[in-house]
Amino acid sequence: MNNIQFWGKTDVGLVRKNNEDTFLVNPDAKYCLVADGMGGAAAGETASQIFAQSADEIFAGQSAASEQEAVNRVQKTFRMANERILEHVADHPEHEGMGCTAELLVFTTLGFVIGHMGDSRTYRLRQGVFKQLTKDHSLVQDQLDQGLITKEQARSHSMRNVILRAVGVRPSLALDTLRGPVYKSDLFLLCSDGLTDLVDDDTICTMLSQNSDMENNISNLVELAKKAGGKDNITIVIAQIYGTS
């Protein structure tokens, strides 16, 4: 069984009046999540909290599971959150358009499972290689995939915040599920786009590689995003494997 340590932090940033992001870490059930609300003010904040509450219910009292059990719980969490957000909008029409992007990372008896929707991201640092595991569900990513724009153009594109998939937007879910093995010293980073829109991957990798104090690393990454403008809420969760227990 893997020994895993978790850290997390969220910050309102320098421009927004409220924080629509939510994060949750649960060392006992061996999972963590980041959800980035959309829909404005109370609506976005409510959507991301509904996602976190749904995960909390699905994983309550659970320990590390098999891969298939983890996949089932991830899918159930996204379905439950999707239904609850849609129900909330039906009861509160003024919140029409609310939803959230979400990353849910679960460690199994042998590896990991990720559920992903939107433009929040999950990365992995393994033996010095920092890799984005998820692909953004965004208009800009589609244009990037088609070769219509470059990576440099994508970072400053005027429509980079147009999301093509999110939790709570429509009855049907198009969920990405990823899975794989884990090894000692693997590090996973989940974050909202408030970090990645303003801090590039190389900078994140360098900071994580040079300093073993992950709590300090998260705080420093948040400060880098704020120094770069802090235009959005900034949320970061780190999970690191420390071998077997």
Range of the domain at 238: 2-244
Is there a contact between 188 and 134 (Cβ–Cβ < 8 Å)? no
According to the model, what pLDDT value does residue 204 have?
Answer: 98
Q: What's the CATH code of the domain at 218?
A: 3.60.40.10
Looking up tokens 């800009």 gives 140
pLDDT in tens, 30-49: 999 999 999 876 799 999 99
According to the model, what pLDDT value does residue 181 have?
Answer: 96
Is there a contact between 110 and 71 (Cβ–Cβ < 8 Å)? no
Looking up tokens 């005027």 gives 158
Prediction pTM value: 0.94
Which stretches of the chain drop beneath a pLDDT of 70? 1, 41, 64, 141, 145, 153-160, 244-245
**244: β partners:** 2
- Sheet with 176-181, side-by-side order of all strands: 21-26, 31-38, 99-107, 111-117, 176-181
Number of domains forming the structure of the chain? 1
According to the model, what pLDDT value does residue 153 have?
Answer: 66
pLDDT in tens, 40-86: 767 999 999 999 999 999 999 777 689 999 999 999 999 999 999 99
